[in-house]
Amino acid sequence: MNVFIYTLSLLTICFTLIPLIKHEYWIFRIFDYPRLQKLVLTVFCLLLLLSRFDHPPAAFEWILLTILIANGIYLSSQILPFTPLSKKQVLSVKENIEEQSISLMVSNVYEDNINTVGCLKEIALANPDVVLLLETNGRWDRETRSLSVEYPFHVRVPLENTYGMLLYSKLPLSAIKISYLVEEDIPSIHCVLSLRNGLNVQLYAVHPTPPVPNENPRSTERDKELLLIADLTKRSSNPVIVIGDLNDVAWSYTTELFLKMSGLLDPRRGRGFYNTFHAHYPFMRFPLDHAFFSSDFKLQELKRLSNFNSDHFPIFIKIQYETSASKQQESLIPDAEDIETATEKKEEPTEI
């Protein structure tokens, strides 16, 4: 029993230490994801270790206990910003003004999922102004074309590589551009949305590749695409919204770097995890699908929607433009090291 406790405890500590090594190989980045799970494992190991303290503990056990406590404190401090115990980065609106608001639904549908009817029903129930469907191939494109009745403005990029995108909007779209910023088969959609009051908003829809062995062994391409989007965001003269499956968790150092370099806000901070993946395994869920936006927006509503046989839950967000919001909300500020890291990541060669 002791061997099991010691082994599990040491593995849990290693799982926490590994992502501190800022290497782009997948084994280092994948352990960014299960932060809450690592905290649960840490508490479990602590309880197991304490349950064996009915005899004079060895020096090793005291050391292990101390390290586990430190591990739990560290993980808790990393999770705290994404709980209601922390300060909200995005404030809630005091009065809903429909002409200045926009609602968005982001859904990775899972390309092999055949439940397009369930997807359409979920869209009808949520009734967003903008719908972004990811992992959409030709079949998904054909079977969701009925959306064009309620959503007359659209950008469709169906692909058979799990990186197709379908963007539907009730609001007018202009300056539409389909970009392949890093990889020739991984698109992003760039366009301008016009709110009901005529305000133009820059929208970026993205879905970079994840750092996993069967797709991409490094996070280089993902990180580079996000940082290039951050550059575009900083140069935009309009308010900005970035939506999509970023294949990165809200609390990773790469997502935090993206927020610092872009100046965008994360509505999860101070509210909750809103985990979207994996829909079928409750213990292994992470916030992978995101909506980030500039500091001149406040939040009306944020919620996770029902699953329709995908491996992701859809997420719904409604935000409102307010001219005074940027004076009341603070974005994360990059330091010299952040700027240097971002520059290096953007200049790093990617695999062809």
Is residue 117 domain-shared with residue 17, that is, in the same domain?
A: no
Identify the pLDDT of residue 275. 96
Domain annotation covers residue 87: no
In three-state secondary structure terms, 43 is helix
Domain that residue 214 falls in? 98-347
Identify the pLDDT of residue 260. 97
Do the Cβ atoms of 267 and 89 come closer than 8 Å? yes
Identify the pLDDT of residue 216. 81
Is residue 76 domain-shared with residue 102, that is, in the same domain?
A: no
Identify the pLDDT of residue 348. 83
The CATH code of the domain that includes 189 is: 3.60.10.10
| Count of the separate structural domains present in the chain | 2
Is residue 170 domain-shared with residue 232, that is, in the same domain?
A: yes
Is residue 27 domain-shared with residue 171, that is, in the same domain?
A: no
Is residue 130 domain-shared with residue 205, that is, in the same domain?
A: yes
Of 19, 54, 82, which marks where a domain is finished? 82
Identify the pLDDT of residue 1. 61
Question: Residue 58 to residues 1, 5, 42, 49, 54: CA-CA distances in angstroms?
Answer: 15, 14, 20, 12, 12
Is residue 315 domain-shared with residue 190, that is, in the same domain?
A: yes
Is residue 54 domain-shared with residue 110, that is, in the same domain?
A: no
Residue with tokens 């069967």: 214
- Helix, strand, coil percentages (3-state) for the chain, rounded to 5, are 40, 20, 40
Is residue 71 domain-shared with residue 128, that is, in the same domain?
A: no
Provide the residue-wise pLDDT of the chain in tens; the chain has 352 residues. Answer: 678 888 999 999 999 999 888 888 888 888 889 999 999 999 999 998 888 766 666 788 889 999 999 999 999 999 999 999 999 999 999 999 999 999 999 999 999 999 999 999 999 999 999 999 999 999 999 999 999 999 999 999 999 999 999 999 999 999 999 999 999 999 999 999 999 999 999 999 999 999 988 778 889 999 999 999 999 999 999 999 999 999 999 999 899 999 999 999 999 999 999 999 999 999 999 999 999 999 999 999 999 999 999 999 999 999 999 999 999 999 999 999 999 999 999 988 876 4
Of 19, 50, 82, which marks where a domain is finished? 82
Is residue 154 domain-shared with residue 195, that is, in the same domain?
A: yes
